[in-house]
């Protein structure tokens, strides 16, 4: 195989700029077809993005003989169905995060990869971006000494949109609330930076009845190397108190950054150095480049199914209820 020819299942808003155009900008890669249940919207997307074919039925796209790779960009509730169907058809799969609705569903996807001897990549794409690769380099070279503690907070105001109009806060479709939409990026980076997790625990509650899901989550990870991570996610904050901050503390200093930001600050002995990064035109393009190389047999899997499954398990550990 010399070229990856993509079909997108679920050409919604997330694909307009973040991912969709990148599939035809990466070498040896072309977006040839898109699918959306609303035929008029699928046709409109294809025309605006100069995509040759469009479908309103996912099975028809999966069975298109020209396509050899499927990008699943639907809500999590349908990831398992489409991924297994694509793997059974002999297609490579790139699936949005979170990997699926829950751990059991993600495990079935992992089993299907083995059963069909297929290739699947989970779209934890921040680990391929220059800013986070720089952080990993700083950590690997010991710039702040021995890392001991990581503190992360993500605070956002309440969403006023009812769950009927926002699938991200409908657990039946998303697996949870806004936590399940945002935390996969953050948790993936933690084990990308620090390696294997020894234990994970947390608490989760729903503070606002209208939120539709847990809106306050606190979680702790202990890594096998002894590093401790504390994270808090609160989605009932006054807008003026919104926050996106991760601080990594080492024996010589700390690294500070926002997961959804564009700069890093490294503080050593009271002196701070700042590294700035330009926003990417298509945030998934660096990851898609690696995915294409993997599908072509020229590189390693940039985010294997095991990492997606771990992410699901960590979120479950943070949000699990105990019976009384």
Averaged pLDDT for residues 161-184: 85
Q: In percent, how much of the chain has pLDDT > 70?
A: 97
Confidence tier at 213 by pLDDT (50, 70, 90): confident
Q: What is the pLDDT of residue 159?
A: 72
Residues 20-68 pLDDT 10s? 999 999 999 999 999 999 999 999 999 999 999 999 999 999 999 999 9
Query: Helical H runs in 141-230?
Result: 171-174, 178-194
Q: Is 158 exposed, middle or buried (0-12, 13-18, 19+ CB in 10 A)?
A: middle
Q: Is the pTM above the cut of 0.85?
A: yes
Of 84-88, 167-171, 203-207, 214-218, the one with minimum mean pLDDT is: 167-171
Averaged pLDDT for residues 190-197: 97
pLDDT at 260 over 50: yes
Q: What tokens does 4 get?
A: 């990856």
Residues in contact with 55: Cβ distance below 8 Å, sequence separation at least 6, in sequence order:
33, 34, 35, 42, 61, 64
Q: Where are the domains of the chain?
A: 4-126+283-304, 130-279
Helix pair 103-115, 79-88: axis angle to 10 deg = 0
What are the respective helix, strand and coil percentages of the chain, to the nearest 5? 40, 25, 35
Contact yes or no for 154/148 (Cβ under 8 A): no
Q: Is 255 left (phi over 0), alpha (psi -120 to 50) or beta?
A: beta
Confidence tier at 212 by pLDDT (50, 70, 90): confident
Chain centroid to CA 19: 12
Q: What are the Cα distances from residue 104, in Å, to 198, 214, 283, 310, 312?
A: 21, 20, 29, 12, 9
Contact yes or no for 249/149 (Cβ under 8 A): yes
- Name the one residue in this structure whose structure tokens are 């035929």: 39
| CA–CA gap between residue 205 and residue 186 (Å, rounded) | 20
Q: What is the pLDDT of residue 126?
A: 98
Q: What is the pLDDT of residue 47?
A: 97
Q: What is the pLDDT of residue 4?
A: 98
pLDDT at 152 over 90: yes
For 130-279, CATH number out of 3.40.50.300, 3.30.360.10, 3.40.109.10, 3.50.50.100 equals 3.30.360.10
Q: What is the pLDDT of residue 274?
A: 98
Confidence tier at 209 by pLDDT (50, 70, 90): confident
Please state, as a whole number, how many other Cβ atoms lie within 10 Å of the Cβ of residue 113. 18
Q: Which residues of 291-301 are buried (b: 16+ CB within 10 A; e: fewer)?
A: bbbbbbeeeeb
Residues in contact with 186: Cβ distance below 8 Å, sequence separation at least 6, in sequence order:
152, 154, 231, 246, 259
Q: In percent, how much of the chain has pLDDT > 90?
A: 90
pLDDT at 136 over 70: yes
| CA–CA gap between residue 302 and residue 313 (Å, rounded) | 19
The CATH number assigned to the domain with range 4-126+283-304 reads 3.40.50.720
Residues 221-245 pLDDT 10s? 999 999 999 999 999 999 999 999 9
Residues 285-302 pLDDT 10s? 999 999 999 999 999 999
Q: What tokens does 42 get?
A: 């699928």
């Amino acid at each position: 195989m010399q070229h990856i020819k993509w079909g997108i299942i679920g050409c919604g808003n997330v694909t307009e700029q973040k991912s969709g155009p990148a599939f035809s900008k990466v070498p040896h890669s072309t977006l040839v077809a898109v699918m959306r249940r609303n035929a008029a919207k699928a046709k409109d997307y294809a025309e605006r993005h100069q995509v040759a074919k469009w479908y309103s039925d996912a099975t028809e796209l999966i069975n298109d003989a020209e396509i050899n790779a499927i990008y699943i960009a639907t809500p999590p509730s349908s990831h398992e169905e489409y991924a297994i169907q694509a793997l059974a058809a002999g297609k490579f799969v790139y699936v949005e995060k979170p990997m699926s609705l829950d751990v059991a569903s993600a495990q079935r996807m992992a089993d299907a990869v083995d059963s069909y001897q297929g290739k699947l990549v989970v779209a934890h794409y921040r680990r391929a971006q220059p800013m986070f690769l720089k952080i990993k380099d700083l950590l690997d070279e010991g710039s702040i000494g021995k890392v001991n503690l990581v503190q992360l907070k993500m605070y956002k105001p309440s969403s006023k949109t009812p769950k009927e109009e926002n699938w991200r806060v409908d657990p039946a479709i998303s697996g949870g609330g806004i936590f399940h939409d945002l935390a996969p990026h953050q948790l993936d980076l933690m084990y990308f930076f620090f390696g294997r997790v020894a234990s994970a625990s947390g608490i989760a509650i729903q503070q606002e009845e209208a939120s539709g899901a847990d809106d306050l989550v606190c979680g702790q990870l202990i890594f096998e190397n002894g590093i401790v991570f504390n994270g808090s996610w609160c989605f009932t904050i006054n807008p003026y108190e919104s926050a996106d901050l991760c601080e990594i503390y080492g024996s010589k200093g700390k690294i500070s950054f926002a997961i959804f930001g564009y700069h890093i600050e490294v503080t050593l002995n009271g002196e701070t150095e700042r590294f700035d990064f330009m926003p990417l035109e298509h945030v998934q393009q660096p990851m898609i480049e690696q995915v294409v190389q993997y599908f072509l047999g020229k590189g390693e899997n940039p985010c294997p199914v095991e990492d997606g499954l771990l992410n699901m398990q960590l979120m479950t550990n943070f949000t699990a209820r105990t019976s009384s």
